Amino acid sequence: MDSQGFLRSIGHRLRAARETAGLSLSAVARKTGVSRRYLTDAEAGRANPTVLILARLATVLGSKGNTSVSIASFVDIPLRVRPSGRVALVGLRGAGKSSVGRALALELEAPFVELDERIEKVAGLSLGEIFDLHGTAAYRRFEAEALEQVLGEGEQLVLATGGSIVTSGATYQRLLETCRTVWLRAEAKDHYGRVLKQGDSRPMENHPRAMEELAGLLLEREPLYRRSELQVETSGVSISTVTQEVLDFLIPEGS
């Protein structure tokens, strides 16, 4: 049995049930008598909650009308789970997802997929047109549909996601449950500089505080990105070094 994978799966289900109930960690801690720190570790798969704790959580999270919440709903997980061969890279624009993703796919001999490209294909529109014509809600629907299509294409692939996927609760949860997730993190100035080097000057246009806003966005999303299995620093690090760190995580020595 993959013990860590099992605990991560329980953690993902705990967090999904809490978010569905619309409760904060602090609220759940107060209602169950379980510390906020412990709940944080449980949702991250770093704790091994007892049956009694799961029973308390099921009672509180199910009290919001979600009758599907029970101890069984948290632990009804196959004991022999083969780690997914799908690798999903998350992070803000300019994190290096495309560059690292292509290098990683080459090493793993797996297809490389840009989720934004699939979203455009599903919608029949460019990303800009989606937002201009239909708004964020429509983009989220296209994003969820595109992800499901990608997941249906097989167990071996490397996926570069959009920077905001972590703010789409159900879609991000689906990503965490079906892929090995890696957060490519960088300093705000590096995100900014890399986007400009790609020839995209939009971050500067009519945004004199663009750098400051980018730093704020990174700080705001950091807790969401941290839900990934692995975090890899890309500031001042070569693509080959980052790729090798991810490979070492995916294929441990001796396996």
CATH code of the domain occupying 3-75: 1.10.260.40
Question: Do 42 and 11 form a contact (C-beta atoms < 8 A)?
Answer: yes
Higher pLDDT, 65 or 87: 87
| pLDDT digits 0-9 by tens, 16-31 | 888 888 899 999 999 9
The number of beta carbons lying within 10 Å of the beta carbon of residue 139 is 19
Higher pLDDT, 10 or 79: 10
Residue 67 has a pLDDT of 63
Higher pLDDT, 205 or 85: 85
79 class by beta-carbon count within 10 Å (0-12 exposed, 13-18 middle, 19+ buried): exposed
0.85 exceeded by the pTM?
Answer: no
E-state strands within 54-95: 86-90
φ/ψ bin of 91: left (φ > 0), alpha (ψ from -120 to 50), beta (otherwise): left
Residue 65 has a pLDDT of 65
CATH code of the domain occupying 86-250: 3.40.50.300
pLDDT at 251 over 70: yes
Rounded distance between C-alpha atoms, residue 161 and residue 97, angstroms: 8
Rounded distance between C-alpha atoms, residue 68 and residue 220, angstroms: 31
Domain ranges of the chain: 3-75, 86-250
